[in-house]
Amino acid sequence: MKKKQLLIISGGMEIGGIERSLFGLLGEIDYDRYDVDLLLFKVGGELLPLVDRRCNILPEIKQCAAMTLPIASAIKTTPIIGVKRAVNRIISTKKYGTSDAATFALLSSYWRSCVSNMPAQKKKYDVAISFMWPHDYAAKKVTANKKIAWIHTDYTVAKMNFEKDEKLWSKFDKIAAVSDEAGNAFRKVYPSLADKLITVENILSPEFVRTQARKEPAEGIDPDIPAILSVGRFTAAKAFDLAAESCRIMKEKGCDFKWYLIGFGPDEALIRSKIKENNVEDTMIILGKKSNPYPYIAACNIYAQPSRYEGKAVTVREAQMLGKPVLITDFETAKGHIEDGKDGIICPMGTETVADALAVLLDNKKLREKLGKNCLANDYSNRESINTLYDFIEN
């Protein structure tokens, strides 16, 4: 039987939640049934060498790669792309501002303006899977019998031109949300697209996570002091700037702990300034980007995700796979991450409420052990979710 031709499109394979979700999907696909081409806008990243060798990684497209570069670098490599991005940054900033929510408008305007200068794929596919928003390239430059686009975040927090974005989403046959909650949030913003929504949970490998956790020591973590860990890009969504204040409140309560941050991103300077402002330089420690964060998750006593919003935080699942008690804030999609009181704790948003909840967890070893034990009893791989994708491909 002839294999169906699939094209999967995403940004890159660095250490990030979306990338690890894609890595899980690529590891679960039945390559005996499908020929899979992977188009990355930036070919590279720590996860790339680990991708199944049966997956065909396409050559990098210069114009697409320019979308991942700083504007000054993009102007040097592909002037028209760089100039268009510079112009759209001015227009978008003037209209929507520079908040994290306005980043949606900026990225959308970049791609809407620049996609016309990108070459189309010559090969026709049975199915095109656009795994990372914005989805302009898959919508306009790929020929496929069917197309599906992924939702990884909460669009209720976005600022942008929703009418134009809705027209883009409407070009896809199905829209895959990584959780029911992420899909419900999307439905609030785009009610006309509700009939296109399906749920395809992040597919993750507990075996991979646990193997990676044993590969190396967690350098920089003091084994003699209770450790809280947070992992994520340094952006407003993750709220690490607010975590510095929670850290101060806990310190003032007399809690004995250190709070470690793993990640990188545009808000690093802000986070460092908040750490200094709250006088917690000795307690909140930035470990930076780690190609293998799993030994650090395994070494912590509590995993904390104090986010302002999330779609489906991969790191929460990975911490649970390693049997860690998890604390998250009550963002829009929180109930799709954990069952409060069973395999984690959901606390109200706010620096004081986060500090209080973490203080309780630090003080209550039995609660931590119960949460961790319940996590280890669960299967968080979501491998069965691949069947929802197969149904779309085959029917």
Q: What is the CATH number of the domain that holds 327?
A: 3.40.50.2000
Say if residue 194 is in the same domain as residue 237: no
Same domain, 151 and 17: yes
387 and 276 together in one domain: no
* Residue 254 included in any domain: yes
Please give the Cα distance from 57 to 50 (Å, whole number). Answer: 12
Which amino acid, residue 151? I
- Are β-strands 124-130 and 143-151 bridged in parallel, bridged antiparallel, or unpaired? parallel
Alpha-carbon Rg for the chain, nearest whole angstrom, is 21
Cα separation, 196 vs 173, whole angstroms: 7
- Contact present, 334 and 361 (Cβ < 8 Å): no
Burial class (CB in 10 A: 0-12, 13-18, 19+), 377: exposed
How far, in Å, CA of 330 to CA of 348, rounded?
Answer: 5
Confirm whether 77 is domain-assigned: no
Q: Residue 134 is encoded by which pair of tokens? A: 């914005």
- Are residues 231 and 370 both part of a single domain? yes
369 shares a domain with 220: yes
So what's the pLDDT on residue 16? Answer: 86
Is residue 251 domain-shared with residue 360, that is, in the same domain?
Answer: yes
pLDDT given at position 279: 97
> What type of residue sits at position 383?
R
Q: Looking at residue 145, what DSSP letter applies?
A: E
Report pLDDT for 112: 96
Please list the residues that pair with 229 across neighbouring strands. Answer: 260, 303
Report yes or no on 75 lying in a domain. Answer: no
Structure tokens at 231: 């992992």
Same domain, 178 and 278: no
Judgement on whether residues 219 and 304 belong to the same structural domain of the protein: yes
In a domain, 95, yes or no: no
Domain coverage including residue 10: 4-61+119-204+382-394
Residues 13/42, Cβ–Cβ less than 8 Å: no
The verdict on 340 and 221 lying in the same domain is yes
Q: Are residues 23 and 128 in the same domain?
A: yes
pTM for the structure as a whole? 0.91
Shared domain for 246 and 355, answered yes or no, is yes
| Cβ partners under 8 Å of residue 321, min gap 6 | 204, 206, 209, 210, 375, 380
pLDDT along the chain (395 residues), means of 10: 91 91 96 97 94 97 96 96 97 93 94 97 98 98 98 93 95 97 95 97 94 94 96 94 97 97 94 97 96 96 96 94 97 92 96 97 96 96 96 95
Q: Kindly state whether residue 176 falls inside one of the protein's structural domains.
A: yes
Helix/strand/coil for 151: strand
Total domains in the fold of the chain? 2
User: Is 244 within 8 Å of 271 (Cβ atoms)?
Assistant: yes
Question: How far is Cα 64 from Cα 116, in angstroms, rounded to an integer?
Answer: 11
Confirm whether 137 is domain-assigned.
yes
Amino acid at 186: F
The reported pLDDT for the residue numbered 47 is 92
Specify if 322 maps to a domain: yes
Structure confidence at residue 2 (pLDDT): 75
pLDDT of residue 1: 63
Q: Whole-angstrom Cα distance, residue 25 to residue 299? A: 27
In a domain, 186, yes or no: yes
* Phi, psi dihedrals of residue 209, rounded to the nearest 5°: -60, -45
φ, ψ dihedrals at 312, nearest 5°: -150, 105
Domain check: are 339 and 355 in the same one? yes
- Quick one: CA torsion of 139, 141, 147, 151, rounded to 10 degrees? -50
Q: What are phi and psi of 212, to 5 degrees?
A: -65, -35
